[in-house]
């Protein structure tokens, strides 16, 4: 398989899942700042010009965090990356979609790519403030659904990989995490695979 990623992005969550499953894959870096997601070669794989992209062994490409995470969980059921019952699986997808669609898609994008939301630089701070409010409210909602200790569903699932990458972003830009989210983030950082992935992506761990 071929995995197209940008270090420190949402693709970090998929990178963690691939490593957790001990899958063999080629890692290809996509430099979003340089615009390599818009090259003809990459667009042939992913016309959306987004990351992550996973090209599977049959040559077909899969895009979108949730789709890739779900496919990995269903393709390798022995790893138990989904609870395996309808309610548990739905809860995992519910949280994962909220992380990707709201915290990331509506909140952090306003903070990281402010110019996409307004052409007027005078409005930048207001847009960033709106993004920060979405992120903080989102973490509060998630915090109330998390156990005080442990993973989202008690055991590690694809939801934990999704939640981790936005917790990681919050940590890196100085956004305080509520207690249960902070406990979850610290727990994730104890996983050997998580630490290895972060180091592979160029991050120092204290």
Say how many residues make up the chain: 206
Q: What is the per-residue DSSP string for 17-51? A: HHHHTT---EEEE--TTTTGGGSHHHHHH-TT--S
Catalytic residue among 9, 11, 145, 176: 9
Triad 67, 118, 132: Cα angle to 5°? 60
Q: What is the helix (H) or strand (E) element at residue 14, kind and residue range?
A: helix 11-20
CA-closest candidate to residue 5, choices 174, 166, 197 = 197
CB 158 within 8 A of CB 96: yes
60: burial class by Cβ within 10 Å (0-12, 13-18, 19+)?
exposed
Among this protein's residues, is 11 annotated catalytic?
no
Kindly list the catalytic residues.
9
């Amino acid at each position: 398989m071929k995995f197209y990623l940008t270090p420190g992005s949402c693709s970090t969550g998929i990178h963690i899942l691939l490593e957790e499953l001990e899958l063999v894959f080629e890692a290809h870096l996509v430099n979003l700042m340089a615009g390599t997601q818009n090259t003809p070669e990459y667009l042939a794989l992913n016309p959306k010009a987004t990351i992550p992209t996973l090209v599977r062994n049959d040559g077909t490409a899969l895009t979108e965090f949730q789709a890739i995470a779900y496919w990995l969980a269903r393709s390798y059921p022995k790893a138990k990356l989904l609870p395996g019952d309808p309610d548990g699986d739905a809860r995992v997808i519910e949280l994962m979609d909220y992380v990707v669609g709201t915290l990331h898609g509506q909140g952090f994008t306003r903070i990281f790519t402010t110019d996409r939301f307004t052409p007027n630089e005078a409005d930048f701070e207001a847009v960033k403030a709106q993004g920060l409010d979405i992120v903080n409210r989102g973490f509060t909602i998630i915090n109330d659904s998390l156990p005080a200790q442990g993973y989202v569903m008690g055991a590690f699932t694809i939801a934990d990989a999704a939640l981790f990458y936005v917790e990681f972003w919050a940590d890196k830009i100085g956004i305080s995490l509520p207690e249960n989210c902070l406990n979850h983030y610290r727990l994730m950082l104890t996983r050997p695979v998580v630490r290895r992935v972060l180091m592979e992506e160029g991050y120092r761990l204290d």
